[in-house]
Chain A
């Protein structure tokens, strides 16, 4: 009851202030077909409130970040912008460039509806909320080609151990066991997925959250480097660079599987493949069924104009409304940030993800734990490791320990 009345009062304020249409520039890097369709859901909903969404789409995080920092430093901030929540935005908040939206979050009751709560924690600095989480993407998936295993005459594996065991049969059949794009973020991602799936959460958290170098040097992490070394051997013939080219190897049955985030299912969908028939998806590599909950969030720069401020508040509130959440996430192929809505139209793989979300088998995303600087160093390490078989698992682990030691 209380919450509803709060909601109503905010709606009233918002309705009053939006009597005149306000233009709000919103910057994001969602530019592919599906992504654009998803953004359109936000924009339409926002335009429906009488305001105007001025779209500024810039592909590629690097360029987009350069633009955002320039606009903020140049004293010409946009109305709202997309960022990966997590540690990237810390400095902007410290510099007082971002608007504190705690009042909106409280009025909307985000604390009670955002699931998992870690998403809101990632937006919180010193008890104040600075961003609106809008979706959940998870990395811990392996995508398996039924055709590749049929051709090799063996059953489709149901977990990582079986996957490794099946590799020689695939190689014999002229298939690549593991497709892996030759780019740092993909290789780092693979390692982090192995890390999350093969050992207990405590180890993952003490290394990445608590930056415990001793644990990073320990036997359990050594086992992951061993697994990474297996992965390196299985991916030895993988010459593609882009992640979607690697996915294409799985779609066409030239490769057994690929470890990639949930966005890969978009490629399967476009190629008209059916989950469970043409391909399988195993969350947590079929070992530890869990997901990390990364995703995207919107931040709101400090503005002076009252009408624009009101429009910002309206947009923030709108992004987490059940109707927008459903519409946006179905198009985006990601999971909604609130657990209280119905997504029965989602496909098999998404349903698996939803189940894990509601069961709480979750880990925080590495982006929330590591600074971009640390993430970049880890990328460089794995880019070297995966391309050069002479680097032993022990050497790589030693370097990894050093990075963790120096991490903030």
Chain B
């Protein structure tokens, strides 16, 4: 493919000029901002960023804080469940909708609308729905099933899954639409050939269609994972981190430290740990995925 690309210097100049915004953003904002954050994580910055060095104090405090540890565990549990479920649900819904069903437009819009609404209030609605006093539990009980219990937000052991219910509600629509689009892009000939060969539908999906959808999976993966790492609004609106600290997450720890506890240094230390982890995973992966040989497919 290399010969397809223009090799002369002046042609690449246009590309370089076009890429200036990207380069500036990458260097100044993302690299610069990250460096700035790391530098100030070694300081005792409170309400204002100030260069009062305290060495590793912020990190010592961070790792001896139970809330931070719980936050990381929660992110792991939530992240893995969310990642698996949002892809499975998104894909299955897309496959169902792809069956030439009636009311496709309506159903698709209903599944996608949560993405458009601000979570400040929809989180509150989920709080109500999952509340045992006036939510689903009380309704089912009023139908006569007296022992029915469904109060995930009020049981510290499973509260994070209560958040997951709302997270899936909000996020799976977008995944569904991306997957649906991916499915629509598959050549009809593939299905015909599979049928002729007598391959069952589920096998066709898993072994033929999904591998063909690799790029859409990559785009969706990046969208979903960035959403998981940065999860904040959902938690604040729905549980505020509770009951207790059972649904705390790292981004909320960072934000609370920065703007509520007026302890910027601690917030920066926490975000440095987050970014370091992300960098260790994402940078090698992105380089392998997007670097190397060009023009896949």
Interface residues of A (CB under 8 A from B): 61-63, 65-66, 69, 72-73, 88, 91-92, 95, 182-184, 239-241, 371-373, 375-377, 380, 383-384, 386-388
Please tell me if the beta carbons of B48 and A384 are within 8 angstroms of each other in the complex. no
Known contacts A182-B240, A239-B131; A376/B260 CB under 8 A: yes
Interface residues of B (CB under 8 A from A): 46-50, 66-67, 127, 131-133, 151, 154, 156, 239-246, 255-263, 266
A239 contacts which of B48, B50, B154, B262 (Cβ < 8 Å)? B154
Residues of B within 8 Å of A63, CB to CB, are 259
Please tell me if the beta carbons of B46 and A373 are within 8 angstroms of each other in the complex. yes
B153 (CB) vs chain A CBs: closest residue: A239
Known contacts A182-B242, A241-B127; A65/B261 CB under 8 A: no
Bound complex: CA of A372 vs CA of B261, how far in Å? 5
Residues of A within 8 Å of B66, CB to CB, are 384
Bound complex: CA of A251 vs CA of B192, how far in Å? 67
Known contacts A92-B47, A373-B46; A62/B245 CB under 8 A: no
Measured CB to CB, the closest approach of chain B to A182, in angstroms, equals: 5
Known contacts A73-B48, A239-B131; A372/B262 CB under 8 A: yes
Measured CB to CB, the closest approach of chain B to A87, in angstroms, equals: 9
A383 contacts which of B133, B241, B255 (Cβ < 8 Å)? B241
Residues of A within 8 Å of B242, CB to CB, are 182-183, 241, 383, 387
23 residue pairs of the A-B complex, CB under 8 angstroms, read A61-B260, A69-B48, A73-B48, A88-B262, A91-B46, A91-B50, A92-B47, A182-B240, A183-B240, A183-B242, A239-B131, A239-B154, A240-B133, A241-B127, A241-B240, A371-B46, A371-B262, A373-B261, A373-B266, A376-B257, A376-B263, A380-B245, A386-B244
Known contacts A69-B47, A91-B46; A376/B240 CB under 8 A: no
Please tell me if the beta carbons of B255 and A62 are within 8 angstroms of each other in the complex. yes
Tell me the number of A-to-B contacts counted with CB atoms below 8 Å: 81
B246 (CB) vs chain A CBs: closest residue: A387
Measured CB to CB, the closest approach of chain A to B233, in angstroms, equals: 12
Bound complex: CA of A385 vs CA of B255, how far in Å? 22
Top 9 A-B pairs, shortest CB-CB distance:
A387-B244, A376-B261, A387-B243, A372-B262, A62-B259, A91-B47, A373-B261, A373-B263, A384-B244
Please tell me if the beta carbons of B245 and A66 are within 8 angstroms of each other in the complex. no
Known contacts A91-B46, A92-B48, A373-B46; A388/B244 CB under 8 A: yes
Residues of B within 8 Å of A91, CB to CB, are 46-48, 50, 262
Bound complex: CA of A322 vs CA of B257, how far in Å? 39
Residues of B within 8 Å of A88, CB to CB, are 47, 262
Residues of A within 8 Å of B239, CB to CB, are 241
Known contacts A183-B240, A388-B244; A62/B260 CB under 8 A: yes
Please tell me if the beta carbons of B262 and A373 are within 8 angstroms of each other in the complex. yes
Please tell me if the beta carbons of B48 and A65 are within 8 angstroms of each other in the complex. no
Bound complex: CA of A223 vs CA of B48, how far in Å? 38
Please tell me if the beta carbons of B48 and A182 are within 8 angstroms of each other in the complex. no
Bound complex: CA of A380 vs CA of B246, how far in Å? 11
Residues of A within 8 Å of B246, CB to CB, are 387
Residues of B within 8 Å of A69, CB to CB, are 47-48
A385 (CB) vs chain B CBs: closest residue: B244
Residues of B within 8 Å of A65, CB to CB, are 47, 259-260, 262
Residues of A within 8 Å of B50, CB to CB, are 91, 95
Measured CB to CB, the closest approach of chain A to B39, in angstroms, equals: 16
A376 (CB) vs chain B CBs: closest residue: B261
Bound complex: CA of A65 vs CA of B258, how far in Å? 10
Measured CB to CB, the closest approach of chain A to B10, in angstroms, equals: 41
Other A-B pairs, 5, CB within 8 Å; known A372-B263, A376-B263:
A91-B48, A239-B154, A376-B260, A380-B67, A383-B244
Please tell me if the beta carbons of B156 and A388 are within 8 angstroms of each other in the complex. yes
Residues of B within 8 Å of A92, CB to CB, are 47-48
A73 (CB) vs chain B CBs: closest residue: B48
Measured CB to CB, the closest approach of chain B to A377, in angstroms, equals: 8
Bound complex: CA of A61 vs CA of B260, how far in Å? 8
Bound complex: CA of A182 vs CA of B246, how far in Å? 12
B156 (CB) vs chain A CBs: closest residue: A387
Residues of A within 8 Å of B47, CB to CB, are 65, 69, 88, 91-92
Bound complex: CA of A375 vs CA of B255, how far in Å? 16
B159 (CB) vs chain A CBs: closest residue: A387
A391 (CB) vs chain B CBs: closest residue: B244
Measured CB to CB, the closest approach of chain B to A63, in angstroms, equals: 7
Measured CB to CB, the closest approach of chain A to B272, in angstroms, equals: 18
A87 (CB) vs chain B CBs: closest residue: B262
Residues of B within 8 Å of A372, CB to CB, are 260-263
Bound complex: CA of A256 vs CA of B66, how far in Å? 34
